[in-house]
Chain A
């Protein structure tokens, strides 16, 4: 990787490739990122903060935090359970479970949203029962949470499965044979071994939960101040030609992305260490 191979490419190939890659990144990533902040700050800091603190924006930020705050812990628990079941036990239908976990990544988010409308909407299968009990799912917070849970479902499990496969089941077996209960084994042996992978999955899952547009858009109903999340709020403001407002809120999402990226890099480094250690344990 450090270019010390004898059969290394000629210099001009390297520099051309570097320039092309950098040019592409500038055009596709850095410029848009810059544009978000530039547009948001165009009318000055006061206007920027005003657009973030107006009631509709605050409500959107709050709803996004609520949706992520419910979806992420739920998926953390489900993800660990699913990865545990898949990697530590043998059972029928395991490969089916693995593909089901991937399903939300394969389906367009709009379709995932529509499925919930069909299930819980006023005309949907469970609609009459829900409305007779005065429960509203679609065009309300529960629908948004459900859609967010669905689209973020794979992230934790997908991170943990390869890691737990690499680590095997012997440590758990050893713990059980020494008299540890299943619970003790999980808290004292399994969880410490997967902590970085778990955190990584949680970070990715959180980024997706806060940034999700398609699925949430279908179930939300876009009621300003009530069922708008941050991405939906950005769209509404933009459609109303309120560019400063739209980009100010968008810049919050961009900051979230940058923070996620930073945490992700640190975790990736930690995770590689764990994986390497697991591999070493087997080899040496």
Chain B
């Protein structure tokens, strides 16, 4: 189902949770709302579910398939909602939890008992928990509970599936597994899905598109590659993955870090304008000799060689702390020791002028 959010705001007494947010979601998409806590992502999700009302302002609307739903209640919206803490009915078994949405339907629209049981079996099969149909939620592990919550949300054949930090309360390993299961589930049942998360890995791995939110506003909307490779703001660059920040300035249409001009850093701005330069750890090169005019001199502070890449921490001439990721091959080739002098080259730096950043 296509969803449109137009100029939606939500102000609570002391703070603004959403500030004129607009967003369009296509049929069958899996969207991640990504941001730190307090960025408004959960409020947006709850407004889509109908659990919160947006502020009543002219031009503000929530449309499902082109139809205004701002005023209609949750039943009419037919959304499936998964809570961070599962919210399973503790006094009902797994099977009863999944059947609930069908059993509370008015008589004329309620499936027969056999049909409901069949649907419950189907869904239990889908989440691979058939043997646990008669258990109570308190007898399940966190991962199992969240699978049941997902099945329960799907039972009513929702037009849109909303997930509020669904894996936030689970440990790292289970979280990773459920993430993949969610993606596989989405391939099989391509219902429009919106996932709220503060975990960038989760968003990058699962979503078709990511909506990065901060301070009640949307910072950037794009595919995982777009937001990761081409962040639209310093916030997005910083929030998505590890990143090195250099403080620099503009001179003669080029960005400078200390006395060194960055290669290919054509930039428009008045001389002396300060700039933030973001470079991801894998986009830095280390050399033993000054490789080019734009190499920055630095010393090795720490080496962390356990893992799939080698992480080297450097302190530059200009006293900036920098993390570089190298392949193990490159690391052996360089034979770096602590306190060694090295030269760093920046590739694909993202430059933001300070004025535009805030």
Contacts and interface: CB of A to CB of B under 8 A. Distances in A.
A192 B88 CA distance: 13
Interface stretch (A13-21, A122-130, A174-182): A174-182
A177 B80 CA distance: 7
Given A277-B90, A277-B138, A281-B90, A175 B104 contact: yes
Given A184-B104, A284-B142, A178 B152 contact: yes
A179 B105 contact: yes
Interface centre among B50, B90, B156, by most chain A C-beta atoms within 10 angstroms, is B90
A280 B50 CA distance: 28
Interface string A177-208: 11111001000110011000000000000000
A15 B87 CA distance: 48
Contacts of A277: 90, 138
A171 B89 contact: yes
A177 to B, nearest CB: 5
Interface in A141-178: 170-171, 173-178
Main secondary structure of the interface of A (DSSP, over half): helix
29 contacts: A170-B85, A171-B89, A173-B83, A173-B87, A174-B81, A174-B87, A175-B89, A175-B100, A177-B49, A177-B50, A178-B101, A178-B152, A178-B153, A178-B155, A179-B74, A179-B75, A179-B78, A179-B101, A179-B104, A179-B156, A180-B104, A181-B104, A184-B104, A189-B89, A189-B91, A192-B91, A277-B90, A281-B85, A284-B142
B81 to A, nearest CB: 5
B81 A177 contact: yes
Interface in B84-117: 85-91, 100-101, 104-105
A282 interface: yes
Given A189-B89, A280-B138, A177 B79 contact: yes
A284 B169 contact: yes
A119 to B, nearest CB: 38
Interface string A247-284: 00000000000000000000000000000011011101
Contacts of A177: 49-51, 74, 79-81
Interface string A63-103: 00000000000000000000000000000000000000000
A177 B75 CA distance: 6
A191 to B, nearest CB: 9
A276 to B, nearest CB: 10
Nearest to B164: A170
Contacts of A174: 81, 83, 87-89, 152
Nearest to B138: A277
Contact of B90 (A178, A180, A193): A193
Contacts of B50: 177
A178 to B, nearest CB: 4
Contact of B104 (A178, A278, A282): A178
Contacts of A188: 89, 100, 104
A146 B269 CA distance: 80
Given A174-B83, A177-B49, A177-B81, 14 more contacts: A171-B87, A171-B89, A173-B83, A174-B89, A177-B50, A178-B101, A178-B104, A178-B155, A180-B104, A188-B89, A188-B100, A189-B89, A277-B90, A281-B137
